[in-house]
Amino acid sequence: MASNLTIYIDADACPVKNETYKVAERHTALTWVVSNSFLQVPRMPFIKQMVVDAGPDEADNWIAENCDHHSVVITADILLAERALENDAIVLKPDGKAFTKETIGAAVATRALMEQLRSTGEQMGGAAPFSQADRSRFLQALHEACVKLKSN
């Protein structure tokens, strides 16, 4: 029996697409791979691709307009995460950590502060390299999110 669970991948820079496909198949979750350009995706009936117009927020807009309380959104984009949470979606970063309604305000504020510092020419360190532990944490978090949504 198919579930009404839907996964949305903010796919242009997502390092865990293959892991998402595996979990989605296990949970019979419709999975949208949303990007600004064509990406190779597996030819499986539950995987759909949406290539949006070029533009910095087009993929985000499409995901935010389509996700709901039956959705898991996978993104590292804080502003998309905020919009998805407003639609009651579960939002996971590629490292498996969740954005929540309780933590999104601080994340948005930190993003704004970092953007302001960068605009002054301040040199900042980048994100830590993506690790196998991040990948494992993501797999577990996505599985748990799917179980939670299917039980609702």
Q: Is residue 71 part of a domain?
A: yes
Burial class (CB in 10 A: 0-12, 13-18, 19+), 57: middle
Q: Is residue 125 part of a domain?
A: no
Q: Residue 2: what pLDDT?
A: 46
Let me know: does 65 contact 83? Beta carbons within 8 Å.
no
98 forms beta bridges with: 92
User: Residue 61 and residue 67: Cα distance in Å, rounded?
Assistant: 10
Q: Is residue 126 part of a domain?
A: no
Please give the full DSSP string across 137-151, using - where no structure is assigned: HHHHHHHHHHHHHHH
Q: Is residue 32 part of a domain?
A: yes
Structural domain that includes position 94: 6-99+132-151
Q: Is residue 115 part of a domain?
A: no
Q: Residue 128: what pLDDT?
A: 73
Q: Is residue 10 part of a domain?
A: yes
Q: Is residue 105 part of a domain?
A: no
Q: Residue 125: what pLDDT?
A: 62
Neighbours of 80 (CB within 10 A): 22
Total domains, the chain: 1
Q: Is residue 113 part of a domain?
A: no
User: Residue 100 and residue 91: Cα distance in Å, rounded?
Assistant: 7
Burial class (CB in 10 A: 0-12, 13-18, 19+), 122: exposed
Q: Residue 123: what pLDDT?
A: 67
Residue-by-residue pLDDT tens, the chain, 152 positions: 346 899 999 998 899 999 999 999 999 999 999 999 999 999 999 999 999 998 878 999 999 999 999 999 999 999 999 999 999 999 999 999 999 988 876 676 666 676 776 677 766 666 678 889 999 999 999 999 999 999 87
Distances (CA, A) of 36 to 5, 12, 39, 138, 152: 24, 7, 9, 24, 32
CATH code for the domain of 35 = 3.40.50
Let me know: does 68 contact 88? Beta carbons within 8 Å.
yes
Tokens 């533009």, residue located = 55
> Residues 6 or more apart from 75 whose CB is under 8 A from it?
10, 14, 60, 63, 81, 84, 91, 93
